[in-house]
């Protein structure tokens, strides 16, 4: 299980990408600063490919901006999920107790007030059961699903960025001479394109989990069933 340090790790990896790209660019510029006579055609071919590689890097940073908007705290969702689980148990127990056959009202409390209260036990039990079955048991798992999706999201993003860094380092190793430069842009483009695809897939998976949870939340909000305010007996809500 990861914690807040996962976000810091990803941001550090993004800084590393920037540093590796700058290192590659410096090396390329150093090679281009001295071009032997007769190899101008190699430079022209390289510059065209290099421009395409830089465009692809721009796409990567655009995708990063989208990714950053999905940063969240799955550890907080885990805590909230646990609280809903802890709520559900006691509520279910109280629902069982809200049964006239289990109550001491008839033997220890007599009169019209006692009768009215005893009549409210059924609706109370029904409402409490709904709190457990239609609220706590729905919200908790939905929060857990988003939490798990966020953990997977962070893992997928980290793997994608590390793989891209490896590709940039490989390209830097290829930049050893003017004749080796044409191989550099394709290596960069493949590394960046692979990272963009992985980031896009991670975002889509997280969106799917969040959308599913949102559907459950809306269902709870719009279909309060027997636990809505209108369904609790007046005897217990004032």
pLDDT digits (tens, 9 = 90+) for 192-228: 999 999 988 988 888 898 898 888 878 776 765 555 5
86-122 pLDDT, tens digit each: 765 665 555 555 554 455 444 555 555 555 555 555 5
Please indicate whether residue 97 or residue 181 has the higher confidence score (pLDDT): 181
At 67 the pLDDT is: 78
Candidate ranges 47-56, 67-76, 111-120, 172-181; pick with highest mean pLDDT: 47-56
**Which of these, 51, 48, 36, 50, lies nearest to 178 by C-alpha position?**
36
What are the tokens at 195? 């990272």
How high does pLDDT run on average in the chain?
78
For the chain, the C-alpha Rg in angstroms (whole number) is 30
Going by pLDDT thresholds of 50, 70 and 90, the confidence category of residue 37 is low
What is the mean predicted confidence (pLDDT) over 125-149? 74
Mean pLDDT of 41-65: 88
pLDDT band of residue 84 (cuts 50, 70, 90) is confident
Which is higher by pLDDT, 221 or 229? 221
- Cut 0.85: pTM above it: no
């Amino acid at each position: 299980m990861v914690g807040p340090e996962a976000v810091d790790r990803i941001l550090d990896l993004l800084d590393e990408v920037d540093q590796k790209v700058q290192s590659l660019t410096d090396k390329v510029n150093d090679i281009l600063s001295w071009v032997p006579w007769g190899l101008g055609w190699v430079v022209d071919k390289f510059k065209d490919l290099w421009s395409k590689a830089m465009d692809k890097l721009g796409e990567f940073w655009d995708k990063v901006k989208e990714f950053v908007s999905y940063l969240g705290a799955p550890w907080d969702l885990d805590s909230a999920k646990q609280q809903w689980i802890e709520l559900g148990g006691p509520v279910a127990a109280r629902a069982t107790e809200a049964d006239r056959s289990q109550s001491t009202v008839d033997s220890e409390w007599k009169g019209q007030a006692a009768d009215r209260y005893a009549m409210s036990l059924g609706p109370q039990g029904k409402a409490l059961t709904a709190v457990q079955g239609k609220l706590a048991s729905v919200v908790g798992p939905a929060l857990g699903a988003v939490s798990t999706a966020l953990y997977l999201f962070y893992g997928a993003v980290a793997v994608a960025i590390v793989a891209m860094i490896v590709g940039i380092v490989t390209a830097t190793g290829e930049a050893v001479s003017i004749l080796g430069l044409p191989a550099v842009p394709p290596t960069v483009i493949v590394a960046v394109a692979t990272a963009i695809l992985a980031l896009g897939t991670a975002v889509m998976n997280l969106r799917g989990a969040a959308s599913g949870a949102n559907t459950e939340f809306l269902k709870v909000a719009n279909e309060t069933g027997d636990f809505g305010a209108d369904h609790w007996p007046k005897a217990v809500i004032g």
